[in-house]
Amino acid sequence: MAGIKWKGMSPDEERAVDEAEEWENRLFAKYPKLFSYRGTRSWCSFDSPTGWRPIVEQACAALAEFEDVRLAQVKEKFGGLRVYYDGNVSDRAREIVHSIEEQSFKTCEECGAPGKLSHVNYWSRTVCDEHLAAWKARDEQRRTARERSLATDPTGRYKR
């Protein structure tokens, strides 16, 4: 289950949603057993961190080697990749999952370049310097816009 489309999304954003879904579907098709969790397809919400796709692909390839490992969920949590899985899991499989999660904390989730866990306004993400700067700029823009609208009209309602 990739992202959700809503009214007002730009064509680029819609394309990104389609693209994320196609990528997920390719993974599901490649590793049907790994993604069949308790009779249903695992819920994999990556929130489209495209920079982590190679890590996720690597994880799937490694874990598919284990006969009884099933992925329950793969998602971003506290700025890193979290892999939930099930089965009679060996130490080796646990090690693989652990190293994948560690790797996500060193990899920019946007572009896959070396990155580090960063925080902006109580949000945590793992990003490279370039994407950290872009993220801060976006955050600043949002804050300025909010302050400006409050300054124009402290009640929060626009009077004309």
Paired tokens of 100: 């994948």
CA atoms within 13 A on the CB side of 74: 30
- Applying CB under 5 A, does 132 fall inside the site for Zn ion? no
Return the residue of 2, 56, 59, 128 that touches Zn ion, per CB under 5 A: 128
Q: Please give the residues from 38 up to 77 whose contact with Zn ion meets the rule CB under 5 A.
A: none
- Applying CB under 5 A, does 111 fall inside the site for Zn ion? yes
- Applying CB under 5 A, does 110 fall inside the site for Zn ion? yes
Residue closer to Zn ion (CB basis): 24 or 110? 110
Q: How far is the CB of 43 from Zn ion (least distance, A)?
A: 26
Residue closer to Zn ion (CB basis): 60 or 108? 108
Helix spans in the chain (H): 11-30, 53-63, 91-104, 129-152
Neighbours of 60 (CB within 10 A): 20
Q: CA–CA separation, 66 vs 153, rounded Å?
A: 61
Taking the CA atoms of the chain, what radius of gyration do you get in angstroms? 19
Stretch that binds Zn ion, among 80-88, 94-102, 105-113, 143-151 (CB under 5 A): 105-113
CA atoms within 13 A on the CB side of 75: 12
Return the residue of 66, 108, 118, 126 that touches Zn ion, per CB under 5 A: 108
Enumerate binding residues for Zn ion (CB under 5 A). Answer: 108, 110-111, 113, 128, 131
